[in-house]
Structure 1
Amino acid sequence: MARIKFSSSIDLIKYPVTTIKTNLLLENNQYTFLVDPKLTKVSIKKAIEFLFDVSVIKVNSCNLPKKKRRVGQFTGVRPRYKKVIVKLAKDNKIDLFSTN
């Protein structure tokens, strides 16, 4: 397995996932992100703790499959991601929907 530098792992966290199901997980202090499939749970934990200044208790991850996409007569493949559910400590919170 290839080693990934910590500074580059911050760039490999793509964006948070906002769906009805993930909004229900917010009540349990769990946040969902899409990340690069090369990242490990340990590097995801360190990157989330560094970016948002929170303490992570648990990291669950699953690899999403590639999806075919057709444009005209050409078929291609959409990029692969890993979906990660991060559980934070009770007193921590990430402000995903800031109104500023």
Structure 2
Amino acid sequence: MSQERIFKVLLGPHISEKATVVADRDGQFVFRVAPDATKPEIKKAVEQLFEVKVRNVQVVNIKGKTKRTARGMGQRNDLRKAYVRLADGHDIDFADVD
């Protein structure tokens, strides 16, 4: 997988309270991914970018909320997240990545 495709598949880490709890408890990390990304692509991208071994990937599609604005009804963007479980002994440190 090319370096360009890696950065198109992985849009960035998803940092939230739930993501932090899951990372501490289960060794899973949450990433925002492209809408057209597949599980094998996500697995390869994480393994190449962070030099870790991925055990499995779960993907969640979240529909954007409809919100009322001053000009009528608006729609937030849809979101696609990937929960990546690493193999035993592997860890990702986001502060250490180049």
- The gaps in structure 2 that reach 5 residues or longer are none
Distance 1:80 1:9 in 2: 21
Q: Secondary structure at 1:96's aligned position in 2?
A: coil
Aligned partner of 1:24 in structure 2 is 21
**CA gap 1:67/1:53 in 2 versus in 1, 3 angstroms:** same
Q: Are 2:8 and 2:34, in contact at CA under 8 Å, matched by a contact in 1? A: no
- The gaps in structure 1 that reach 5 residues or longer are none
Aligned partner of 1:12 in structure 2 is 9
Q: Are 2:63 and 2:77, in contact at CA under 8 Å, matched by a contact in 1? A: no
TM-score w.r.t. structure 2 length? 0.79
**CA gap 1:51/1:64 in 2 versus in 1, 3 angstroms:** same
TM-score w.r.t. structure 1 length? 0.77
Tell me whether 1:39 sits opposite 2:37 in the alignment. Answer: yes
Q: Are 1:10 and 1:51, in contact at CA under 8 Å, matched by a contact in 2? A: no
Q: Secondary structure at 2:59's aligned position in 1?
A: strand
Distance 1:34 1:20 in 2: 15
Identity in percent: 31
Aligned partner of 2:88 in structure 1 is 90
**Over aligned residues, Cα RMSD in angstroms?**
2.1
Distance 2:78 2:31 in 1: 13
Distance 2:12 2:21 in 1: 18
Between 55-64 and 76-85, the greater mean CA deviation after superposition: 76-85
Task: Measure how far apart 1:34 and its partner are.
Answer: 0.9
Distance 1:94 1:78 in 2: 30
Distance 2:6 2:65 in 1: 24
Question: Which amino acid in the other structure matches residue 22 of structure 2?
Answer: L
